[in-house]
Structure 1
Amino acid sequence: MYTLAVCAEMVFRDLPIEERARRIHDAGFQVEIWDWTRHDLAALERTGAVFSSMTGYIRGSLTDEEGAAELLRTAEESIKAAGQLGCPRLNLHGTGLDGQGLPVHPVTGEATGPMWIAAHRTLGRIAELGEGAGVVFTLENLNTAVDHPGVPFAKAADTLALVGAVDRPGLKMNLDLYHAQIGEGNLIELVRRAHGRGLIGEIQVADVPGRCEPGTGEISYPAVARALADLGYDGTVAMEAWASGDDDLALERFRTAFTTAAA
């Protein structure tokens, strides 16, 4: 059976991040965070929470030589931070994101051939870093229609192609079903395809529209949960979603969607 985690950046937002982590842990979930440089790692460590994922870089991009060098350098810093928290996965995007989730270096139109070549080369080096440190970097698909316009390699098809081309244990896909629903749809078939190739490092979920907990929108997450159970997926499913109302209730709705239906 898969493990359930909750992103502490998006729930209990009136509390300090370490108290959010403690609340999530006490509710029986693992914990995810974003930019670790904004947090007191020692305070997070003292919560006793199990951390499943965090941002794996501070700055940089996959599309050009200068951006790749910065991404690799800050990925090395992130590995050290992950070691302090015992966090096994470090998440990446095609380029750095600002405080509003917008790309620091946006791309107009489709990524070019040289960009694909640069991304493949950089991700191979990222995978090597992860393997040497005993962690896995995950490349997350994003949607460009609503939340992240201008991010390169944002579609699930793009991230799947890059991760598959690198084909190393230090790099997997962070398959975000919220973003995939907006950008591509056909979620269960997407999960089957990625799982069949052994490329999933983690699955993230939120409902559409609104990016709130499962059960608040159009996605049939109980059906997704049954498909994951049928596939024998035993990785992590993380709720990266805003609470539509009461935070504790949002966590319970997430738990119900991914336990009752898959039982």
Structure 2
Amino acid sequence: MPRFAANLSMMYTEHEFPERFAAASADGFEAVEYLFPYAYDAGELRRRLDDHGLRQVLFNAPPGDWESGERGIASLPGREAEHRSGIERALEYAAALGCSMVHVMAGLLPPEATPAQRAAHRDTYLANLSWAAERAAAAGVDLLIEPINGRDMPGYFLHRQAEAHTVVREVGAANLKVQLDLYHCQIVEGDLTTTLRRDLPTGRVGHLQIAGVPDRHEPDRGELDVRHLFDVIDELGFDGWIGCEYIPRAGTSEGLGWLKTYRGEERA
């Protein structure tokens, strides 16, 4: 049966961030993910996890200047030293939180990027991921890369699943994997059932995420048949986590009927 992690950056925003751990646990979640931990002391976050019986399954490496619009730096030429420093910081938090996966954001291409610029970004990306994967492997951590749709994040370096899998193969590190967000994938290329059946058996997918399409609300809102997708994931024997990275329409707990129904059907 698929295992679900609450994304505390998007869910339970009716609470202050430190209180979201308790709210997620009260709703039956056993694991959490979120974008960034760095505004908080790692020891405080670990106490929140332990106090509420939660497991930290994912967070992002430092993304550059997020408030100014940066969305990662791994593919940005000239930012290699900052990338390495960010990976070291992420691995420190991963060790403190007992977290075995870190998402490394690629960054944005310049508007109207030339082929030469694209090639320079790609070369930088591969080199940075290779270095980071080696460092992470020594710490027992998997690094993830995620294709993101251009509607929500215009200019993001990585859009399609095939591109991400090609990068993983070229880097050749066993601990570099793809973060398959079914929301982004549906917007960019669709054909989710075929994508799951093609890519999950490769072992290159380390984490899944879900949200309703097109509005990024609860996963049962919109055009996705999530019950079918969960059945496919179960059929394929995926033993990782599914991050619930969506924006609740009107209260997080009130919108969890989809999860309660699914869990009830599985137990029946």
Please indicate the TM-score interval, normalised by the length of the shorter structure: 0.7 to 0.9
Task: Quote the offset at 1:8 in angstroms.
Answer: 0.5
* Residue pairs, 1:3-14, within 5 angstroms: 3-14=3-14
Q: Partners of 1:151 and 1:88 in 2: how far apart?
A: 25
Q: Is the 8 A contact 1:208 1:219 kept in 2?
A: yes
Q: Which residue of 2 aligns with 1:71?
A: 83
- Alignment partners' CA distance in 2, 1:231 and 1:37: 35
Structure 2 distance, partners of 1:155, 1:259, is: 34
CA separation in 1, counterparts of 2:144 and 2:267?
25
TM superposition shift of 1:43: 2.9
TM-score by length of 2: 0.86
Distance 1:258 1:69, change over 3 A: farther
Matches within 5 A, 1:76-155: 76-95=88-107, 103=108, 106=110, 108=112, 112-144=118-150, 146-155=151-160
Q: Distance in 2 between matches of 1:257 and 1:244?
A: 19
Q: Which amino acid in structure 2 is aligned with residue 108 of structure 1?
A: E
Please identify, of 43-52 and 251-260, the stretch whose mean Cα deviation from structure 2 is larger: 251-260
Q: Given residue 136 of structure 1, which amino acid in structure 2 is its aligned partner? A: D
Question: In the aligned structure 2, how far is the partner of 1:107 from the partner of 1:167?
Answer: 30
> How far does residue 123 in structure 1 lie from its aligned partner after superposition?
1.2
Shift of 1:58: 3.7
Distance in 2 between the 1:189 and 1:262 partners? 27
Q: Name the structure 2 match of 1:194.
A: 199
- Paired residue type of 1:6: A
1:106 deviation in Å?
Answer: 4.1
Q: Deviations over 1:28-53 (max 9, x none)?
A: 32111112122343332222221110
Tell me whether 53-62 or 203-212 shows the greater mean CA deviation.
53-62
Question: Which structure has the larger Rg?
Answer: 2
The C-alpha deviation readout for 1:192-248, integer Å capped at 9, x for no partner, is: 222122111100010111101111110111111111111111111110001112311
Identity, % of aligned pairs? 27
Quickly say closer, same or farther: Cα 1:168–1:252, change in 2 above 3 A.
farther
Amino acid at match of 1:68: E
Structure 1 unaligned segments of length 5 or more: list them: 96-102
Task: Identify the residue that residue 166 of structure 1 maps to in structure 2.
Answer: 171
Unpaired segments of 5 or more residues in structure 2?
65-71
| Match of residue 37 from structure 1 | 38
Residues 16 and 239 (structure 1), Cα distance of their counterparts in 2 relative to 1, 3 Å cut: same
Q: Note the alpha carbon deviations across 1:18-37, whole angstroms, 9 max, x for none.
A: 21112112323211111212
Separation (CA, whole Å) in 2 of partners of 1:193 and 1:261: 25
Aligned 8 A contact 2:61 2:105 in 1: no
Task: Show CA shifts across 1:131-171 (max 9, x none).
Answer: 01111111111000x21001112322221221232232221
**Residues 113 and 246 of structure 1: CA distance in aligned 2, closer, same or farther (over 3 Å):** same
Native 8 Å contact 1:9 1:33 kept in 2 = yes
Aligned to 2:252: 247
Alpha-carbon distance in 2 for matches of 1:257, 1:160: 30
CA–CA distance in structure 1, aligned partners of residues 260 and 165 of structure 2: 27
Compared CA separation, residues 256 and 165, structure 1 to 2 (3 A): farther
CA distance in 2, matches of 1:156, 1:9: 24
